[in-house]
Amino acid sequence: MVERNPRSTKLSKSYLFREVADRVQSYKRKNPGAVLYNLGIGDTTIPLPQVVTQSLSGFFESLSTEEGYLGYQNEQGNELLRKSIIERFYPDTITPDEVFVSDGAKCDIGRLQILLSHLSPVLIQDPTYPVYRDGTLLSGDQSLIYAVCNPENDFFPNFSGSPKLLYICSPNNPTGTVLTYTQLTHLVSYAKEHGALIIFDAAYRYFIQGEQHPRTIYEIPGAKEIAIEVNSFSKFAGFTGIRLGWSIVPKTLKGLYDDYARLHSTIFNGASILAQKCGEVVLQEGFEACMASVEEYRANTKAMRDALLSEGETVYGGEHAPYVWIETKGKSSWEAFQYYLEEKQLIVTPGSGFGKGGEGFVRLSGFFHPSTRSAILDRLACSSYTSTLYS
Ligand code: PLP
């Protein structure tokens, strides 16, 4: 028998979404008429703007002509797209050769983990988006520091244990909270003083409102010397299926910049030219339409948050992120999951599925289709919702 990689055995069984699916199936078997709404997923539901798909169809057809055909392209991504990313998100801070276009933020994190497997200990916010933890366990033998982020510490990790690599996600999945300028400045200062590197995941930056919160770590002076930022078209442009993202690796990271350029071109052959074309259109004529979809998700999330608050729930996040994080008040995360399923026919995500620090919370996602908003709000408002199954 071929031997397993011992690192694979360090991963806990990925049972969260399977367990959710099993419980939902079992509920449906007992209640075949039940109409369930899913507030568990982080996937987008609003279709792509037509301006994006129409421009793609012309480009796609041109690939069947002698003049228009394209094969392999620059692995780092086409220049127009990289320039558009800079213009939209990093004017005057980053240059196009510091942008690495990719097939998504999750895949970039995996590639970065190969490069950074010598940095230890690694700080993971707890609860966490799972790839920071699981990818680290798979790619290296580093020690992990699980820094609990909860209401007591304002969802801000403490740095005890002197981490050399820190995964920071803001706006945060799953807690829906967002770092302030002061908090992010504190993180950058720590990294500069201790020769540490920050991987900053800004996949939800488009949900930030107003000017009180940084949208990129490069708004903080000095961050270019200690931070790599990953980002994605998934959530703001609905590209979860199309697949397109990017990482910023500043040249001021000297050796790391050259090493990442080498690694990226060694194990990645470039994002699909179709996805890149869509990305260009999104950043130009499609941008407003994409922001209109973000606005709908934001309205979903705000409405959920308001409904929960008016029911006396203790709620975090949801103002600058598409996730609401609810304290389950004495119930375990799974007990609360079962409560939402049976009493409200709503599927939520148990916070404990994102790490021990998430026990005692559930996550509700605002990515549901806006046409279901009022039905969902009725169910969230305990006093006014009368379940058809339980009345
Ligand atoms: N980063 C965070 C924080 C996420 O929540 C997600 C997806 O849910 C991703 C990255 C994945 O992005 P992509 O679809 O570009 O791989």
Rg (CA), the chain: 22
- Cα 247 to chain center, whole Å? 14
* pLDDT in the model for residue 11: 87
How far is ligand 1, taken at its centre, from the CA of residue 390, in Å?
Answer: 37
The 10s digit of each residue's pLDDT in 126-143 is 999 999 999 999 999 999
13 DSSP assignment: P
The 10s digit of each residue's pLDDT in 317-343 is 999 999 999 999 999 999 999 999 999
8 Å CB contact between 243 and 272 = yes
Closest CA to 316 of 363, 270, 272: 363
Kindly indicate the confidence band of residue 383, based on its pLDDT and cuts at 50, 70 and 90: low
* pLDDT in the model for residue 333: 97
Q: Is the CB of 240 under 6 A from ligand 1?
A: yes
How far is ligand 1, taken at its centre, from the CA of residue 232, in Å?
Answer: 7
From 85, 172, 173, 233, the mutation candidate for ligand 1 (largest count of ligand atoms within 8 A of CB) is 173
Q: What is the mean pLDDT of the chain?
A: 95
What domains lie within the chain, and their CATH numbers?
Answer: 6-47+288-388 (3.90.1150.10), 50-283 (3.40.640.10)
The 10s digit of each residue's pLDDT in 7-55 is 999 888 777 888 999 999 999 999 999 999 999 988 999 999 999 999 8
How far is ligand 1, taken at its centre, from the CA of residue 42, in Å?
Answer: 9
Instruction: Report the pLDDT averaged over residues 233-242.
Output: 97
Where do the H-state alpha helices sit in the chain? 16-30, 50-62, 79-89, 105-115, 130-139, 181-194, 234-237, 255-267, 273-283, 287-310, 333-344, 373-380
Q: Is the CB of 234 under 6 A from ligand 1?
A: yes
